[in-house]
Amino acid sequence: MKFDTPAEPNAIDQLKVVGQPLDRIDGPMKTTGRAPYAYERHDVAPNQAYGYVVGSTIAKGKITSMDIARAQAAPGVLAVVTAQNAGPLGKGDMNTATLLGGPEIEHYHQAVALVVAETFEQARDAAQAIRIDYAPADGAYDLAASRDKAAKPEKLTGGPPDTAVGDFDGAFAASEVRLDETYTTPDEAHAMMEPHASIAAWNGDELMVWTSNQMIAWARKDIAKTLKLAPEKVRVSSPFIGGGFGGKLFVRADAVLAALGARAAKRPVKVALTRPLMFNNTPHRPATIQRIRIGASREGRITAIGHESWSGDLEDGKPDGAVSQTRMLYAGENRMTTTRLAVLDLPEANAMRAPGEATGMMALEIAMDEMAEKLRLDPVEFRIRNDTQVVPDDPGRASGSDPQGKAPSAGGDSNQRRAFSQRKLVECLRLGADKFGWSSRNPQPASTRQDGLLIGHGVAAAFRNNQVVKSGARVRLDARGAIQVDTDMTDIGTGSYTIIAQTAAEMMGVPIGRVTVRLGDSSFPVSAGSGGQFGGNCSTAGVYAACVKLREEIGRKLGFNAADLVFADGEVRSGGRSVPLAEAARDGELVAEDTIEFGAIAKKYQQSTFGAHFVEVGVDPFTAEIRVRRMLAVCASGRILNPKTARSQVIGAMTMGVGAALMEDLVVDKRAGFFVNHDLAGYEVPVHADIPHQDVIFLDETDPVSSPMKAKGVAELGICGVAAAVANAVYNATGVRVRDYPVTLDKLI
Ligand code: MOS
């Protein structure tokens, strides 16, 4: 199904099942331990052996010698795989460093060997007997020190590396009120509960991998590329995933090494990355340095806005897209953004929840708070005053390749700029301010005390773009009138099983209990996958498309020739006639498959999601300990397919935002080039007890431009802006403006 015009009213709009706050259908399995994670799939292949990954102990350089003889002779050892004996390997599209390193070492804890043994303990023990000599080389590990060497990146998603509209320099210099500040965000880790893990088994030249991966089709392709196999020879299964956050978008060492280990040991092999290996072996969110300049009139209209960002990655890597929201969140006739990438020899950088906006909003939304204060304007009002219903920095009009900055004048022709399909930022801010009690906030910093604490309130906008990605599904009606949905979509804890079942139930007119959903298998139709907050809207739209076909099939089979069929209560109805759904499958089940594809409409409008975050903190005046006391998020994200799972996603994102604000910090050893705090004791994330009260409000919105579901992403929107709202609340509480995340107590004293 091609989606190319705004969605008409359709069967989803009945909202009998879709839109209901239903419990997750996989919830009981998950909470009782019956949903097996990759490493626990003992039953899928007999005689599984254990692989233990050895990581490099230098960040850059060469292996000069590697002695595996003692390990090979150790008790229980079946094989030792290294780059020397693994045979020729390719590289996946999505990996920057190779997944099995040597002799060249590209980053600390890059995998250099896999020991396969009868038991995990034997594999771990033998791994200690491998003797590796390295010739370390000098590396670059410090973003601040490499800032001046940073260059325009070649690979960048979301637009050109530089944009310019109007005359930023002139307008900024002429502005009545100006802000020019630099903010930093640290390297961050996904720190999901379930580590990367895989079981691999060969059947002749066919490979089966049970793994934990967000994007099944990418995984299949990259495993095939790495092992130089035809993709048809590889099958990937990942039905249950214990968190991803972007860390499992791409195939990692566990999958490739399990396959190589299984080939060498001639047995199925399972490999999990140990927790200490996770932080330096897999990608992380890169640190950023961000300079923001805002010029405004005394009445608080932005006249110039500029955002420059620096981040680092390995050679051939990608930058953080921190400037992306600044291109379109606030009005202003004169604007510029630049993105620069430094080559760093740290572990590879890549996507983590809302890559780009998550870090960009951490900086921009403090800058907006600072600017509001300079203008003596309420920060909610300042944002409202600079709302824009068209894209002020339309990529089509930007002059990224124009070094002179002679971009076309932005004045007077705003009708050429694309409109947002929906943009309810102002409504989110107003409703949130009202529900949060913003009007009773004391704008004077460090002057509100309660319960012996300094109390502060902060606000930030939320913004994240809404991407659309084609997505397929297969649906089946059996003789009992039950529906089965198969798609390679994944559920990383988000509720995919549930919203997909809701979609099929709504379309086919059956209770949700009559729908079974199977996910995460490369033998199913290729879906959008779980990424970039597009999975919910796009995967259900794919199911919608397949159900439209199945409905047609059923209509034909039952001899209806009307187009106005109603599917309800397990029956198909038209005119006066009503037939049980099961009738259609009496002679054999009916199967339909389709893929939703998004045409030009996706480009005609700018699709983004909006929100507002409000935070109250209490700061101990003696110890400077910071506690979040309550949080509110208001989200405008299109139709909410399931308010319960969506709320859980936003609560989780808000919690992650508090982590980014107050705790999370991969500490770089700038001599040796690795993240020092590579375990969950040293890398702190918030827990339930850290935030006593969180609330989420969804605006009643449908977006017919996004898909037939009229839904949009929400799970990444939820993190964007949170950290700045916390930092702004800390400023309001203490009068100390911290521009270097995380906002830890030492920065307040
Ligand atoms: Mo998301 S960072 O695309 O899993």
| Domain boundary assignment for the chain | 2-32+467-604
CA of 125 to the centre of ligand 1 (A): 35
Which residues pair with residue 590 across a beta bridge?
Answer: 477
CA-247 nearest atom, ligand 1: 4
Q: Is 716 a catalytic residue?
A: yes
Which distant-in-sequence residues (6+ apart) come within 8 Å of 281 by Cβ? Answer: 53, 55, 109, 110, 111, 252, 253, 273, 347
User: At residue 405, does pLDDT exceed 50?
Assistant: no
The answer to whether 630 and 738 have CB atoms below 8 angstroms apart is no
User: At residue 716, does pLDDT exceed 80?
Assistant: yes
State the virtual CA torsion across 256, 260, 261, 267 in degrees, nearest 10: 110
Query: Is omega for the bond preceding 88 within 30 degrees of 0, making it cis?
Result: no
Give, as one character, the DSSP assignment of residue 584.
G
> Ligand 1 in contact with 351 (CB < 6 A)?
yes
> Ligand 1 in contact with 249 (CB < 6 A)?
yes
Q: What is the pLDDT of residue 84?
A: 97
Q: What is the pLDDT of residue 244?
A: 97
Query: 3-class SS at 224?
Result: helix
Q: Which of 348, 357, 664, 716 is catalytic?
A: 716
Amino acid at 243: G
Query: Is omega for the bond preceding 195 within 30 degrees of 0, making it cis?
Result: no
Confidence of residue 395 (pLDDT cuts 50, 70, 90): low
Q: What is the pLDDT of residue 561?
A: 83
Among 724, 122, 716, CA closest to 465: 716
> Ligand 1 in contact with 356 (CB < 6 A)?
no
The rounded mean pLDDT for the chain is 95
Q: What is the pLDDT of residue 378?
A: 98
- How far apart, in whole angstroms, are the C-alpha atoms of residue 438 and residue 615? 10
> Ligand 1 in contact with 465 (CB < 6 A)?
no
User: At residue 414, does pLDDT exceed 80?
Assistant: no
> Ligand 1 in contact with 353 (CB < 6 A)?
yes
Structure ipTM: 0.97
CA-716 nearest atom, ligand 1: 1
Q: What is the pLDDT of residue 287?
A: 98
- How far apart, in whole angstroms, are the C-alpha atoms of residue 720 and residue 723? 8
Confidence of residue 243 (pLDDT cuts 50, 70, 90): very high
CA of 242 to the centre of ligand 1 (A): 14
Q: What is the pLDDT of residue 399?
A: 39
Sign (positive or negative) of CA dihedral 520, 523, 525, 528:
positive
- How far apart, in whole angstroms, are the C-alpha atoms of residue 627 and residue 743? 11
Which residues pair with residue 79 across a beta bridge?
Answer: 116
Q: What is the mean pLDDT of residues 604-631?
A: 97
Q: What is the pLDDT of residue 688?
A: 85
CATH number for the 2-32+467-604 domain, one of 3.60.21.10, 1.20.1740.10, 3.30.365.10, 3.40.50.720? 3.30.365.10
> pTM higher than 0.90 for the full model?
yes
CA of 313 to the centre of ligand 1 (A): 18
Among 630, 607, 632, 631, CA closest to 698: 632
Instruction: Give the tens place of pLDDT for each residue, 54-83.
Output: 999 999 999 999 999 999 999 999 999 999
Q: What is the mean pLDDT of residues 81-100?
A: 96
User: At residue 403, does pLDDT exceed 50?
Assistant: no
Q: What is the pLDDT of residue 406?
A: 35
Give, as one character, the DSSP assignment of residue 474.
E
CA of 83 to the centre of ligand 1 (A): 30
Q: Which two tokens stand for residue 577?
A: 């006639």
Q: Which of 391-405, 618-632, 726-740 has the weakest average pLDDT?
A: 391-405
Q: What is the pLDDT of residue 400?
A: 38
Helix, strand, coil percentages, rounded to 5, for the chain: 30, 25, 45
